[in-house]
Structure 1
Amino acid sequence: MKKRFILFILMLFALCDARATHIVGGQLFITQNQDSYYNYNMGLTMYFDALNGNPGAEDQVVTIYVFRKRDNMAIGWLEAPKIERKSVNYANPLCGISTLQTWQITYSTALHLTPTDFDDPQGYYMVWDRCCRNGTITNIQAPGDAGSLFYLEFPPLFKNNANFKNSSPVFPEIKGDYACVNSPFLFNFGGTDADGDSLVYSLITPMQGYSDKSNPSAPGRGSSNYPRLTWINGITVDNMIPGPDPLKVNRSTGMLSVTPGAVGLYVFAVQVDEYRKGVKIGSLTRDFQLKVVDCPKMDPPKLLFKPKGSSTYYNENQIITVKKGDPNCFEVMVTDPTVNQIVAVDGRAVNNSKNYFTVLPAQFTTKVPNDTLKFQICLEECFVTYDNRPIKIELVAQDGSCPFPLYDTLNIYIRRENSGNNPPAVSTSLGSDYVHVSAGAPVTFTVYGKDPDKDNLALSGRGQDFNMTDVGMDFKAVTGTANVEQKFTWVPPCNAKKGDTLAVDFKVEDMRCEGNPMPVARPVYFIVDESPNNPPAVKTSLPIPEITYQIGSASGIVFDVLASDPDTNTIVLTAAGRGFDMKGAGMIFEAKSGVKSVTSPYAWNPECALLEGQPEQTFLIDFVTQDKSCAAATDTTTVKVTIKDNGSAPFPEFPNVITPNGDGKNDCFEFQGLPADNCEDRFKDITIFNRWGKQVYYSELRPNDWCPDKISGGYYYFVVQYTKRSYKGGLTVLK
């Protein structure tokens, strides 16, 4: 790997020269350590033959090599020390066989990987190559000389300009069970993914790699096509464990299934592909071996139940009725043909979240062949059925057969009468259970639950053959003690048709017995009537819907738009220009909504560019209001606005003498009479000079008056400039 990566791995590289026939299987892993400087763990889980393997081949450190997938270029290597060794367990520990003992050995190291150093879009892969496999394997050629290569692909750690977080799948501890000839066998080989990625499983031929007896720990090589094991004649990837039902894997769960046809030790491999949002981002191989033995034939136990007063055994089409005053316990039998066999009995209530019954005793040991043993099923107070609904008790008797226990199941249906708990009651604030509604018109009422025993209650609602939330009904479940209530609200949707009837069951449950509530329901029927609707109206504050406006006028165009609706519907007020964009033209108007009435102001200061060189332009603006009822109605009013240029007025007659002596008469040179601006000609500036040409006054803003109280009398002249014309004149100041 790149230099920065090398700095954070162990550099001691020790090759083990011990020849070994020890490898049972395993897989590589890479997991992310969130919020840690040493942000990844990389390592190997390996299964080691504890009986036939050479103890000297149990490595203390394994060397894992990393390559870039695009071109198989070596990126680096790391050494992972052994951190754990433990024995592989059996599902039934009493079934262990002397020829099958396996160690699970884990090698792992924490290290720092800089994500930007691993940014190749095609990703990377890591391998561990070691010889040799278990020499007693049945389905491959020269098993003691065959190497074992574990392989794992992982995505770039930096992708789309961001760190890409990912960990390889995690697998539970393998159980070291064996299979029996001609008996179905299931083996869970599936895992989970911390990132929520999807895992897809497929069977593959195990990889052999490049290591051999002479070089059992050869340095890893990059490759797109690693060597694989050579099957014996008649074996392919489709029947790695041959038999009536050869080895298969469930693509979604990783569950292995097989009915083997002959004894032996069979190696196999599963490829686990990792997908995120439908895109494959990683892959790894898992190797393992399954031992098949010739097991003695075992027979399962048998459950028997003879109801009280019956001369025949119970069948699952019957319902047992337990009345008030009847005994709470009844007797069930179990028989098993094997002597000294431990038989355990367990049970559950299938349609209750709590059992409310006991099995006494729950475990037996047979003394003679076909020994028949008796046990009691005792019902508790809360084992009660309501509305004639029986409770299904599922009893399971399981023995100690190897490699997996054999079992028998008996389902007993029991209807037991209530003994003392009074039912709750449900009611509403409505005068009737039938409610007439109209599309768009709100419906509101209260639902009540009450219990005479003051037990805990749960109140809920459910539509008959429909989902309440799908049609907009709002009724949240609520709990309480003795009394509960909740508000129901609904605005029938616009697609509710006249004559439709929707039924909602409001249910209150007595929760005295957790997991077995006593329910009481009351239906309310909603009958949809025709939906009446009066149209809304829209108007403006203008006396007439026409405006003529000269550009440059100080006030601009301002008026209000008012919308109203005689019903209580929500209305929306909008505006649109006919053939033009209102906002682009500089018009200001905000769409609004409300109930009953809405007001929104309109404002516009037209600019000359809107004339497009013409003396005048006309704009039509449609103001529209629409109600939001199911029978939607609209109204429109149109305002016509004509804008004009005000034309060029002549310059006024300016005075030629002023007397600024403070008497209030003719003290100032007045400019209020200057022509107003228009689109073609606008005020630019005004300048006043004395008789020697010195500037005594200047303004680029349209002035009010010039009152020269601090200058001497004499002759002055002035220049008024517009963009297209100017005016020059003289002025005598007398003091």
Structure 2
Amino acid sequence: MALTTTLLRTTTGAPAGRRWLLWVLLWLGTTPAWATHIVGGELDLQYLQGDTYQLSMNLYFDAINGNPGALDNSFTAGIFDKATNRLITSVTLDLVNNTFVSYTSPACAVGSLSTRQLVYRNRAPLLLPAATYGSAQGYYVAIERCCRNNAISNIVNPGAAAQAFYLEFPAVVRGGQPFRDSTPRIFPPLADYACVGELFYYDFAGQDADGDSLAYDMVTPLNGHTTSAQPTLLNLTNNVPLPGPYQPITWNAGLSASNQIPGAPTLTIGARTGRLTVRPTRVGLFVFGVRCQEYRRGVKIGETRRDFQLQVLVCPRNNAPSVTALPGTSGSVTYLPGRDTLRLVPGGSRCLRLRFTDPDASSQLTLSLRSVNYTGTLPTFSSTISGLVHSPGQPDTLVATLCFPDCVDTQGKVNFLEVIVADNGCALPKRDTVRIALLAIPNPNALPTLTTTAGTPLPLRVRLGQTLGFDLLATDPDGDPITYALSGTNGFAPAALGATLTAQAQAGTQRAARFNWPISCAAVTDPPGQVRELVFTATTVTPCGVRQAAPPITIPVIVDYSNAPPALTSTFPADSAGGPPLVRVALGQAYTASLTGTDGDKDVLVLSATGQDFNLADVGMRFTAPAGAPGQASGTFTWLPTCDGVSVTNGQARELVVTFQLQESTCRPQPRTRTVRFAVAQPVAKEFLPPNIITPNGDDKNQFFTLADLPPDFCDARFAGVKIFSRWGRQVYESGDRSFRWAGDGVGGTYYYLITYTTGRRYKGWVEVMP
């Protein structure tokens, strides 16, 4: 969190910024123009998608004294296996951006320091497939370039010292699964300078797209293989980058990785914060190296190295400002950090007065806030600032008021907030900080209450068709807006079953609501009679945005429901041991049966009849069931069988299965069924005993051959005809009339007959003719 307001002082004399710039220009006139080139830089590898990555290099170049001809349009990077130093591939990086690095405070700019940031990126898509990049120890990327600035003060022979840009990354597969990683994008570029004898600080922390943990430390910059004669050295045999290890630069006597810039203290970096700190004790241009290591779940997976330079100058003296705090809006008692605690209580002052000053004339002072563990809304500075104006060189005292919002609540714990006053001195502002410890209690706010007219005893019992209804009343003594909510327990969702809770407009401190629940079949539990719980809540939001809830009201409800199965009777024959009864009806004869349904619960009953794989009307069946009174039903079944509606195979009619159902209209119906088999009665055939002798002699006895006891016709099984043959096979008679009469052929002897039916059935026999 940060809140800043700028406070301008008025005084006489020349502006300090202008006098400072004039001094710098005069100082620069006596300073030699060193031949400079590489200021520093780092590599960056970002995951895009699939197997595709982006490799970038940031190179920082001295824009004042660097030779423009030394600017490279491209670089060749090598990717190596860390375990073997084997070159995996070469990657061409092209220059894509060339911009100036801005000062933190442009007003403090000096003519001897100007840096360009050159950004290089891979020319072709960079693919890192798992089949190639699966080594457990990971990989490294390196680019080499010579040379560094001649003016560097802390290394041996700086004009011949090179730089190796270096980055490590993990395998892209781990445990058989893809392992995606983007290296940390670290270090905002450093364009500022430091002043000898003054504390210098700079935020060098980076960001990691994967949320990995980052750890920083100081390391010796890498020199590598390149030289001034071969500034971009490649393997001359096959023109590829050279592998590591890369030699480090050589420190001047007394300096090392842990003491890179002479200082008290020397240059350090926060292991977790990435914040650089140094109080240099010597003027000069100093190179330094920083390493950022990347950890995931406690395991190191990569690192990025960065070289950079810091210029230390002699700067005009800049005195630090000071700030004191006074609780309340009046009085002279000074707040003492570390001993006093600011208490913000209901009815008390919620403000803090600030007095701040600077002994330097024409200083521009800035007030800001920084949270230590303060989580509330930041307070605001007053817009009116009063103070006295003194002669140049004399301090004036300015006053501001800091007021905390009414809703700040530290939950009974001490919170810390820092008030910082900073000037506009160069190279970095001087600051003074007062840490405020505070305990804040917001204005009290009463909880809402909730009542209902649901009544007792509990659980409430309702029946199907009723509507459960009652009122609720929520009260908030502070008049905060009230919101109702209706829910259920154990997965019960009242609104899904038609329950509604309708709230009225709030009237002052109260808001009423009406609950209604029409009980339908959806409300019946399975099994019936289980308890369901209605939960009613009323919540408010205080002016400070705090949600407060009344104790919820839980109302158990039982939906009473019972159902006895209906009874179905009929005039059909009773079932047999083998199953449904079989009713046979002769062709052309009508069959009638009645069915009756009754229900003790007085549910509406419906009777129906369904044929198994046939339509009733298609076979001459009919079922009628007029509407009856509640709990009663009746129906009539009739069947007039005809050959048109009956399927006959080989003289046998198929069975027709009809299911009669009695259905009740209720939440948990228990239907009753009756199944009856029907078949057309076959005609009864007499014993077929055809005569085997006739005497056509005119005595009126056995004069004709006739077959009165032939199997009867039955639908499609009909008599087709008779043929009589002599013993030599000659047909002597034929008739299609089943009542035929044959008097013989006038010649005695044995004759043979053949009788056929439409179904293909045949009867054969013989008859003796005796004239």
> What TM-score do the two structures reach when normalised by structure 2?
0.50
Deviation, 1:204, is: 1.9
Aligned to 1:632: none
**Residues 262-301 of structure 1 correspond to what in structure 2 (within 5 A)?**
262-301=282-321
> Offset of 1:386 from its aligned partner?
10
Asked if the contact 2:188/2:204 (under 8 Å) is kept, the reply is no
- Once the two structures are superposed, residues 208-229 of structure 1 have per-residue CA deviations (whole angstroms, 9 ceiling, x without a partner) of 1111111111116444421221
The match for 2:542 is 511
- CA shift, 1:356, in A, is 5.3
| TM-score normalised per structure 1 | 0.52
Q: Is the 8 A contact 2:341 2:439 kept in 1?
A: no
SS at 2:382 equivalent: strand
Aligned residue number for residue 396 of structure 1? 420
Residue 193 to residue 313, structure 1, CA distance change in 2 (3 Å): closer
Residue 370 to residue 117, structure 1, CA distance change in 2 (3 Å): same
After TM superposition, give the deviation of residue 288 of structure 1 in Å: 0.8
CA distance, structure 1, for counterparts of residue 49 and residue 277 of structure 2:
37
Gap change, CA 1:269 and 1:303, over 3 Å in 2: closer
**SS of structure 1 residue aligned to 2:427:** coil
Instruction: Classify the secondary structure of the residue corresponding to 2:69.
Output: helix
CA 1:153–1:318: 2 relative to 1, 3 Å: closer
Return the alpha-carbon distance in structure 2 between the equivalents of residues 381 and 269 of structure 1.
46
Query: What residue number does 1:530 align with?
Result: none
How has the CA–CA distance of structure 1 residues 261 and 114 changed in structure 2, closer, same or farther, with 3 Å as cutoff? closer
Counting matched residue pairs gives 441
Q: Distance in 2 between matches of 1:123 and 1:416?
A: 52
The partner residue of 2:164 within 135, 138, 149 is 149
Task: Provide the rounded CA distance (Å) in 2 between the counterparts of 1:303 and 1:265.
Answer: 35
Q: What corresponds to 1:451 in structure 2? A: 476
Q: C-alpha distance in 2, partners of 1:411/1:263?
A: 34
Whose radius of gyration is greater, 1 or 2?
2
1:216 aligns with 2:247: no
Give the Å deviation of 1:512: 0.3
Mapped partners of 1:75, 1:457: distance in 2: 68
| CA distance 1:330–1:132, shift in 2 (3 Å) | closer
Is the alpha carbon distance of 1:378 and 1:413 closer, same or farther for their aligned partners in structure 2, counting shifts above 3 Å? same
SS at match of 1:94: helix
SS in 2 for 1:56: helix
Deviations 1:641-682 (CA, angstroms, capped at 9, x unpaired): xxxxxxxxxxxxxxxxxxxxxxxxxxxxxxxxxxxxxxxxxx
1:425, distance to aligned residue in structure 2 (A) = 3.3
Q: Partner residue of 2:200?
A: 185
Aligned partners of 1:408, 1:42: CA distance in 2, in Å?
43
Shift of 1:411: 5.9
Q: Secondary structure at the match of 2:302?
A: strand
Q: Tell me: CA distance 1:320–1:122, structure 2 relative to 1, closer, same or farther (3 Å).
A: closer
Contact 1:24–1:289 at 8 Å: present in 2 too?
Answer: yes
Is the alpha carbon distance of 1:456 and 1:377 closer, same or farther for their aligned partners in structure 2, counting shifts above 3 Å? farther
Letter in 1 for 2:421: A
Name the counterpart of 1:235.
255
> Counterpart in 2 of 1:195?
210
- 1-structure distance, mates of 2:413, 2:176: 60
Identical positions, percent? 32
Which residue of structure 2 lines up, in the alignment, with residue 534 of structure 1?
none
Residue 354 of structure 1 is aligned with which of 360, 377, 388?
377
- Contact 2:450/2:550 (8 A) holds in 1: no
Which of the numbers 340, 352, 364 marks the counterpart of 1:342? 364
Residues 366 and 56 (structure 1 numbering): CA distance in 2 closer, same or farther, change over 3 Å?
A: farther
Deviations 1:150-176 (A, max 9, x none): 111222234444433222111242232
Query: In the alignment, which of 76, 94, 113 is matched to residue 127 of structure 2?
Result: 113
Structure 1 residues 319, 112: closer, same or farther in 2, change over 3 A? closer
Alpha carbons of structure 1 residues 284 and 428: separation in structure 2 relative to 1, 3 Å:
same
Displacement of 1:354: 1.8
Identify the residue that residue 275 of structure 2 maps to in structure 1.
255
Q: Which amino acid letter does the alignment assign opposite residue 41 of structure 1?
A: Q
- CA-based RMSD of the aligned residues comes to 4.5
Equivalent position amino acid for 1:46 in 2:
L
Asked if 2 retains the 8 angstrom alpha-carbon contact of 1:211 and 1:217, the reply is yes
Q: In the alignment, which residue of structure 2 is the partner of 1:167?
A: 182
Aligned position for 2:59? 46
In structure 1, C-alpha distance between the alignment counterparts of 2:88 and 2:439, rounded to whole Å: 70
Offset from partner CA, 1:283-338 (integer Å, 9 cap, x none):
232111112222333222233566666456554537688996x9998864332111
SS at match of 1:28: strand
On the 8 A contact 1:341/1:365 being kept in 2, the answer is no
Deviation at 1:390, TM superposition (A): 10
User: In the alignment, is the contact (CA less than 8 A) between 2:351 and 2:404 conserved in 1?
Assistant: no
- Alignment partners' CA distance in 1, 2:447 and 2:475: 5
Q: Give 1:422 shift.
A: 7.1
Structure-2 separation of matches of 1:245 and 1:24: 23
Rounded to whole Å, the distance in 1 between the matches of 2:402 and 2:510 is 33
Distance (Å, rounded) in 1 between the aligned partners of 2:134 and 2:437: 62
Q: Which amino acid aligns with 2:254?
A: G
Distance across 1 between alignment mates of 2:481 and 2:271: 47
Structure 2, gaps ≥5 residues long: 1-33, 235-239, 452-472, 485-504, 513-538, 552-771
The separation in 2 between residues aligned to 1:279 and 1:328, in whole angstroms, is: 48
Contact 1:179 1:185 in 2 (8 A): yes
Q: Map Cα deviations across residues 258-284 of structure 1 (whole Å, 9 max, x no partner).
A: 222211111111222333333333223
Is 1:59 the counterpart of 2:59? The answer is: no
Report the residue type matching 1:88 in the other structure: V
Query: Structure 2 matches for 1:648-667, cutoff 5 A?
Result: none
Deviation at 1:378, TM superposition (A): 7.0
Per-residue deviation at 1:57? 0.9
Which residue, 374, 377, 382 being the options, matches 2:401? 377
Contact 2:39–2:148 under 8 Å retained in 1:
yes
Give deviations 1:674-723, integer Å, cap 9, x for gaps. xxxxxxxxxxxxxxxxxxxxxxxxxxxxxxxxxxxxxxxxxxxxxxxxxx
